[in-house]
Amino acid sequence: MSESEMGYRGSKSDILSPQPKEISVKEQRVDGSYFGFYPKLRCTLMGFERSYQVKIPSNQLNKKLFSTNTTTEAEISPWFLTGFIDAEGCFSIKIQQNVKLKTKWRVRPVFSITLHIKDLALLKSIKNNLGVGNISKSGEKAVMFAVDSIKEIPVIINHFDKYPLITQKLSDYLIFKQCFEIINQGNHLTERGLLEIIGLKSNLNLGLPVKLKEAFPAIDIKVTEVNKAEYKFKGIPNPLWVSGFTSGEGSFQVLARNRNSNELFARFSIHLHIRDLEVLKGISNFFKEKDEIKEKKVTLTEKSAQLQISKFSDINNIIIPFFNKHPILGMKSLDFIDFKKVCLILKTKDHLTSTLVYNQIIEIKSGMNLNRK
């Protein structure tokens, strides 16, 4: 599936898979976005309606089967949670055929977060802090936290009404909320209500699946244009939003300047779809201190924007102290710890003259991001 066919919000799939027809969830808590010397834009995974199998007993997690390096009972601040969901959350309306219903269609609101299984502990913390939802397997290497109960969805809505999303995902949330209000009033059980929800869904995430387009060819997709136009980036609301968003979208890397020397550098980066350029500029301005970090750190391609900070004084004096004060959560926190270890060594410059010290950095680097076990 090409970028042009995919949305840019919701959970991500691995665009580097050698078999593009098989969708696999990236180790997004482990590696952040994919960068390297040739950055590639991450795609959006929504999957099919049948992929959301939270209620199936065989997909419910047996807690004894999994272990992680992070605390399952971690307290998560509300703004951290909003930032993380701006990065990794997904708001969807599932519409499935059901001959037992008057309309012949079952409508279900679903809020979900899908992560690599290594971040099961983080999902447990999110579930415990919200007090709603279920965690289930999502393939061999992923787990999904989902809330789809009519009684529990108001908890999600109350959170985001109080601690609003600030990326383009806000548009998805507003449509999701509007659909839920129709469902909560029972109007989805009428033909008119169903058609209204389908019209709203056509502007949510990836739009309507083929099956629904064929079943409802005359749906008016103009229903939610007002909602889309309402979105405007209003700034970073709280430092903990940044740490939450970075826990989802950020990347801490150690890179070589060229292959023929021992010169290494540390880089903090965030890579987003071009539609969230203003958010990226906002993050850049948020870190700006006495004009040391400027908007010129944000670079553009045709469909993506990326913030890259690699000046060592910026890393050492601004980025590391900020995340020490407002911690990263999940497996990515281990990348940040290793990142700091490397920066302490880079500060001495001993790696330029000592093969032993250089190899020490390479060993740390080899266990970061995708290579972390």
The Cα–Cα gap between 56 and 166 comes to 34
Does pTM surpass 0.85?
A: no
**Backbone dihedral angles phi then psi of residue 213, each to the nearest 5 degrees:** -60, -40
* Higher pLDDT among residues 103 and 84, named by residue: 84
Question: What is the CATH code of the structural domain delimited by 240-371?
Answer: 3.10.28.10
The Cα–Cα gap between 330 and 339 comes to 15
For 350, the 3-state DSSP assignment is: helix
End-to-end Cα distance, the chain: 29
Q: 152 Cβ partners below 8 Å, 6+ apart?
A: 132, 133
Domain locations in the chain as residue ranges: 3-31+43-57+73-230, 240-371
Chain-centre distance for alpha carbon 97: 30
pLDDT for the residue 210: 82
Residue owning tokens 């999994």: 66
Conformational region of residue 99, where left means phi above 0, alpha means psi within -120 to 50, and beta covers everything else: alpha
Chain-centre distance for alpha carbon 193: 31
- Report the amino acid identity of residue 267: R
pLDDT value at 289 more than 80: no
Q: DSSP letter string over 304-356?
A: EEEEEE--HHHIIIIIHHHHHHS---STHHHHHHHHHHHHHHHHHTGGGT-HH
Write the pLDDT tens digit of every residue in 215-237.
887 665 544 444 455 678 999 99
Chain-centre distance for alpha carbon 196: 28
Choose among 29, 49, 32: nearest CA to 40: 32
Beta bridge partners of 268: 252, 309
Tell me if 3-31+43-57+73-230 shares its fold with 240-371: yes
Range 353-365 average pLDDT: 92
Write the pLDDT tens digit of every residue in 226-285.
445 567 899 999 999 999 999 999 999 999 887 777 889 999 999 999 999 999 999 998
* Higher pLDDT among residues 73 and 332, named by residue: 332
Question: What is the CATH code of the structural domain delimited by 3-31+43-57+73-230?
Answer: 3.10.28.10
Report the run of H or E that residue 292 belongs to, with start and end. Answer: none
Conformational region of residue 210, where left means phi above 0, alpha means psi within -120 to 50, and beta covers everything else: alpha
For residue 201, the 8-state DSSP code is: H
Choose among 212, 303, 284, 209: nearest CA to 245: 284
* Higher pLDDT among residues 48 and 143, named by residue: 143
Q: Which of 11-25, 82-96, 293-307 has the lowest mean pLDDT?
A: 11-25
Say if CB 129 and CB 149 are below 8 A apart. Answer: no
**314: Cα within 13 Å, side-chain hemisphere:** 20
Say if CB 164 and CB 85 are below 8 A apart. Answer: no
